[in-house]
Structure 1
Amino acid sequence: MADLTKLAKLLQELDDQMVGCMKCGMCQAVCPVFAETMKEADVTRGKIALLENLAKEMIHDAAGVQEKLNKCLLCGSCGANCPSGVKVMDIFLRARVIVNTYMGLSPVKKAILRGMLTKPALFNALLDLGSKFQGIFTSKVDDLLGSSCSKVLSPVIGDRHFVGLAKQSLHSKIKALDTPAGKSGKRVAFFPGCLGDKMFVSVAEACLKVFEHHGVGVYMPEGRACCGIPAISSGDRVAYDKLVKINLDLFSKGNFDYLVTPCATCTATIKEIWPKLMDEYPATMRDQIRALHDKVMDVNQFVVDVLGVKPEAPAKGAVKVTFHDSCHMKKSLGVTSQPRALIGMNPKYELVEMAECDRCCGSGGSFNLYHYDLSKQIGERKRDNILATGAQIVSTGCPACMLQMTDMLSQHGAKVAVKHSIELYADSLR
């Protein structure tokens, strides 16, 4: 049974945040979902109109409200372009929590988010086991992209081409690290993220190679948990709070100058979402989050802005690379030039810009699961922009975007590799 007093408080807080929306419609011009559906209910202005009567709408049709709220990529395009400065991401996340608090969590979500994700040892063990048997259910499609498909699972996952679990996860290879600062005089806490730990292990290893090359000490504790974005995006405040606490407990035990991640989504979650949703936490947790805020940094930004790695002139190699600005990296973190600088450090590559380089690729985490057809439509536009450049590699700073672009390119039969920008820079180091 929902706590009505708590719900009333949450609804009042939400009302206070929405008063700045002037219903000007600027969000229509930048919303990738609206561009495909042309439905007012799918754009921010329409959703805020719904939320202004949230209590009444939940009583009337809670499932319908949930469906409309979930039909959003949480890409932040609307907030980044809002002339009134409305904190749209904050509003939508809080609204999802309210609706979930009212409706309760489905058994499947509860099992995944609370039963697995909040128990890192169990979560790791299950996926490590899954990596050993995934070949039984999947078929390799493209060696260059590393993509697979599954006829057995197609009733559940559709026609996706996906990147499988790594043969050996990062936590299996390296349980923990605690190395001193070298020639850089810097020491980082390294947060590889779930995808960096379990799927794109090469991205995490590239980060560690770069740190070692530049004499950066690394603190990477055992038992790392998810940053919490899948839970809070699903409106599950219980699982989210547990994940935040697990990570705070781990990283509070280390001494470091920066907390660095190769995942733009993880970086934005820790740096932006954790502080916004910490009001009800104990004072100790709030202090820990505040202390982390200024230390959290994307790996591209760390290497360029802190370590000072910049090309004297852009490389003009034989291999063309184009770059996709992930939504969280550009719109939340303001990181755009740094990954391009790292690509320019590798003499083998030449950077060629694509049209709409900062337009959402359509991934959106759980959005891709529940609205795959729409996610695919948005992703195909990104794919076409990639192919128009003639590049042999598309790079980005977000593993989730890497999954989406791999799917789109693989289904098209396009021979374009998908790489993280830190991988391209690490490849230049000897």
Structure 2
Amino acid sequence: MSDKNQIQNCGKCGLCLSACPVYKTLKEEHLSPRAKLQLIKKFEGRDIHVSPLLKELVSKCLMCGSCTAACPSGVDHYGQFMEMRRKMMDEVGEIPAIRSMIFMLAREYRIQLGAKMARIGRKITPDQIARSLKLGSIPVHSFPGLNPVPFRKGLPEKIEPRGKVRESLIYFTGCATNYLFEDTGRAVIGILTHLGYRVIIPKTQTCCGIPLMFHGAPEEAAANMAANIKAIQGAMDIHNCTGVIVDCTTCGTALRDEYLGLARKIDSGEIPAPKAWKGFDPQTLGRSLNNIASKTRDILSFVHEHRVECSFDPGFSPVRATYHAPCHSRNSFKTGSITDRLFREFPCFDFVPAPDQDECCGGGGTFFYEFPDISRQMAEKKINTVKSLEVPYWLTDCPVCRINLAGSLGENRDGPKVIHPVVPIYDQLIIEE
């Protein structure tokens, strides 16, 4: 279906309004998903032109996909907004901070250099200054510390389980686990090897590319995609891997959905093919894309599927915790009922459901940086709810949600610790020495 027909299908019914976290926060019609579609329609009809105001209105979106999931007419708001961002990027560009992020994420060596500089900066910045500075809505001192060394660098590419190997799985770590949250990575590997799986961590994997796509840089995202396809398919061929595990459903959405869309844009000539793309045979590339997409699984769904094989230490006390459901987990991977059952069934949890666990936290990639006031309102609402539950742990399987929620807690020392659910699961498994 063409973009034009997609927008024509919008019946302006308003169901997207009740799903959109930005609209629910601000109650302004011109920021609703249906209004954004009409702005795009006017732009395509050349009734309006790209301007800073149009860019701001379309960009006030968390790219959560909730409107697309709620639409009874099947309109792909998510895809429409992403494509419009590309056109606006071509016309009016981006602010320096976002341009710098795009430049950095487009090459793995730049990400490594950026992480080193951030690590040094954290060490030499006086605490008093760090407490006075903010990145968007989050105080600098509230950002997580960086891993001492990149997570993938400190591990072999192949990690064997104890005992008999049942199958081999690829672990796509993503940038956050590699540079910020090694506790998540070690827990994922520990769980998978506990279940008898050989874990393969391709060393040449890089950023999934979704941040680049969100900011109108599909050419750079396509280069990352080419690198990841080579890394993942190459590891699949060498080790006969049967699946690709992600601990972040945003990365999973890239591997499972967005790469296929990018490939279609390249094939149609809509965006230029990256240099790395030219080495692919078209038929082989198509098979690789579909192979990776069909085999990509989020770690929580995978663990729940193997729940009867998880042996928990009866000596541990259950972790009293609540959960924040990331938008891509709900809307792309549809894990809502799965995670709810996991938290209720696993003996390692004393689960306290939050009434607003499915509400967006306002992180949304760089949304907390670009629109800090809106993000802060959304985060504070959730924080007030979770404080009333009096739980010591707040679980979420999205690293940006983790950064946003933990950072928004700030100086609230009596607030919960925000962690990935795999951490308490791994901590309470019976690990044979």
Shift of 1:58: 8.7
Shift of 1:252: 1.5
- Please, which of 233, 239, 246 is the counterpart of residue 227 of structure 2? 246
* 1:158–1:184 Cα change, 3 Å: closer
- Cα RMSD (Å): 2.9
The separation in 2 between residues aligned to 1:135 and 1:317, in whole angstroms, is 36
Shift of 1:101: 2.9
The answer to whether the 8 A contact 2:138-2:408 is kept is no
The answer to whether the 8 A contact 2:229-2:288 is kept is yes
Residue number in structure 2 paired with 1:350: 350
Residue number in structure 2 paired with 1:33: 22
**Cα deviation per residue 1:368-387 (whole Å; 9 max; x = unaligned)?**
11001110101111112212
Verify: 1:276 aligned to 2:261, yes or no. Answer: yes
Residue number in structure 1 paired with 2:405: 405
User: Match for 1:224: what amino acid?
Assistant: Q
Verify: 1:74 aligned to 2:58, yes or no. Answer: no
- Please, which of 43, 49, 53 is the counterpart of residue 38 of structure 2? 49
User: Match for 1:377: what amino acid?
Assistant: Q
Shift of 1:217: 1.0
SS in 2 for 1:363: coil
The separation in 2 between residues aligned to 1:357 and 1:155, in whole angstroms, is 25
Shift of 1:111: 4.2
SS in 2 for 1:358: coil
The separation in 2 between residues aligned to 1:318 and 1:139, in whole angstroms, is 36
SS in 1 for 2:244: strand
The separation in 2 between residues aligned to 1:199 and 1:192, in whole angstroms, is 11
Unaligned stretches of 5+ in structure 2?
268-281
Shift of 1:77: 1.5
The separation in 2 between residues aligned to 1:184 and 1:397, in whole angstroms, is 27
Shift of 1:412: 3.9
Residue number in structure 1 paired with 2:274: none
SS in 2 for 1:320: strand
Shift of 1:286: 2.8
Residue number in structure 1 paired with 2:158: 177
User: TM-score normalised to the size of structure 2?
Assistant: 0.86
The separation in 2 between residues aligned to 1:76 and 1:242, in whole angstroms, is 24
The answer to whether the 8 A contact 2:380-2:408 is kept is yes
SS in 1 for 2:10: coil
Verify: 1:265 aligned to 2:250, yes or no. Answer: yes
User: Match for 2:358: what amino acid?
Assistant: D
The separation in 1 between residues aligned to 2:126 and 2:249, in whole angstroms, is 29
**Cα deviation per residue 1:235-279 (whole Å; 9 max; x = unaligned)?**
111111111011011111112111101011111221122222321
Residue number in structure 1 paired with 2:396: 396
SS in 2 for 1:334: coil
How many pairs are equivalent?
Answer: 409
- Please, which of 116, 124, 130 is the counterpart of residue 150 of structure 1? 130
**Cα deviation per residue 1:170-197 (whole Å; 9 max; x = unaligned)?**
0331263365896461211101111111
* 1:298–1:37 Cα change, 3 Å: same
- Please, which of 76, 90, 102 is the counterpart of residue 101 of structure 1? 90
Residue number in structure 1 paired with 2:185: 204
**Cα deviation per residue 1:34-62 (whole Å; 9 max; x = unaligned)?**
12211112110110010111146696343
User: Match for 1:35: what amino acid?
Assistant: K
Percent same amino acid at aligned positions? Answer: 25
**Cα deviation per residue 1:70-89 (whole Å; 9 max; x = unaligned)?**
10011112112112221121
SS in 1 for 2:51: helix
* 1:155–1:196 Cα change, 3 Å: closer
SS in 2 for 1:60: coil
The separation in 1 between residues aligned to 2:134 and 2:408, in whole angstroms, is 16
The answer to whether the 8 A contact 1:258-1:295 is kept is yes
* 1:386–1:287 Cα change, 3 Å: same
The separation in 1 between residues aligned to 2:161 and 2:233, in whole angstroms, is 17
The answer to whether the 8 A contact 1:21-1:84 is kept is yes
Residue number in structure 1 paired with 2:425: 425
Shift of 1:392: 1.2
The answer to whether the 8 A contact 1:262-1:397 is kept is yes
Verify: 1:222 aligned to 2:211, yes or no. Answer: no
The separation in 1 between residues aligned to 2:328 and 2:230, in whole angstroms, is 25
The separation in 2 between residues aligned to 1:335 and 1:342, in whole angstroms, is 10
The answer to whether the 8 A contact 2:105-2:207 is kept is yes
The separation in 2 between residues aligned to 1:320 and 1:111, in whole angstroms, is 40
* 1:55–1:336 Cα change, 3 Å: closer
* 1:403–1:156 Cα change, 3 Å: closer
SS in 2 for 1:187: strand
- Please, which of 171, 175, 178 is the counterpart of residue 194 of structure 1? 175
The separation in 2 between residues aligned to 1:299 and 1:120, in whole angstroms, is 24
Shift of 1:296: 0.4
The answer to whether the 8 A contact 2:50-2:88 is kept is no
